[in-house]
């Protein structure tokens, strides 16, 4: 079955700097790659997603890139702010709408 590896497990950046989180997947048939953000004590929420027919997608300060050949995708957050501090999960779809999640990255923004 699908396997998703996420790195790093923890990431600490200065406010205003950029943060990058990377994921690799194993199933070449996967075609949907969402990113979820989970703030402390709250539920995971979708922040951005990308489908396999697109190489990059942006939404204000966040962007996701996909390299289907290498089977990896990345989340980029620019001009980081304290409210970006959270745990981020990548995922890929396996079969009919079943998501496989990465292990999560705890992002800390230092003021």
Partner 1 sequence: DVKVTQSSRYLVKRTGEKVFLECVQDMDHENMFWYRQDPGLGLRLIYFSYDVKMKEKGDIPEGYSVSREKKERFSLILESASTNQTSMYLCASSLGGVRGDEQYFGPGTRLTVT
How many residues bind partner 1, per CB under 8 A?
22
In terms of CB distance, is 26 or 111 closer to partner 1?
26
100 binds partner 1 (CB under 8 A): yes
* Residue 5 and residue 70 in contact, taking contact as beta carbons nearer than 8 Å: no
User: What's the CA gap between 42 and 12, in Å, rounded?
Assistant: 20
Dihedral over Cα of 58, 51, 86, 110: its sign: negative
In terms of CB distance, is 37 or 74 closer to partner 1?
37
81 binds partner 1 (CB under 8 A): no
42 binds partner 1 (CB under 8 A): yes
* Residue 59 and residue 43 in contact, taking contact as beta carbons nearer than 8 Å: no
> Among 45, 67, 81, 110, which residue interacts with partner 1 (rule: CB under 8 A)?
45
In terms of CB distance, is 2 or 65 closer to partner 1?
2
Residues contacting 28, CB < 8 A, separation 6+ = 68, 71
Which residues of the shown chain bind partner 1 in the complex (CB under 8 A)? Answer: 1, 6, 9, 32, 34, 42-46, 49, 89, 93, 96-104
């Amino acid at each position: 079955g699908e396997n998703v590896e996420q790195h790093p497990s923890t990431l600490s950046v200065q406010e205003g700097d950029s943060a990058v989180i990377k994921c690799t997947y194993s199933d070449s048939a996967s075609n949907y790659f969402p990113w979820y953000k989970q703030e402390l004590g709250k539920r995971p929420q979708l922040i951005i997603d990308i489908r396999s027919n697109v190489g990059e997608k942006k939404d204000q300060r966040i962007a996701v890139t996909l390299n289907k050949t290498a089977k990896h995708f990345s989340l980029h957050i620019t001009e980081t702010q304290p409210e970006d501090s959270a745990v981020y999960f990548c995922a890929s779809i396996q079969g009919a709408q079943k998501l496989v999640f990465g292990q999560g990255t705890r992002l800390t923004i230092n003021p």
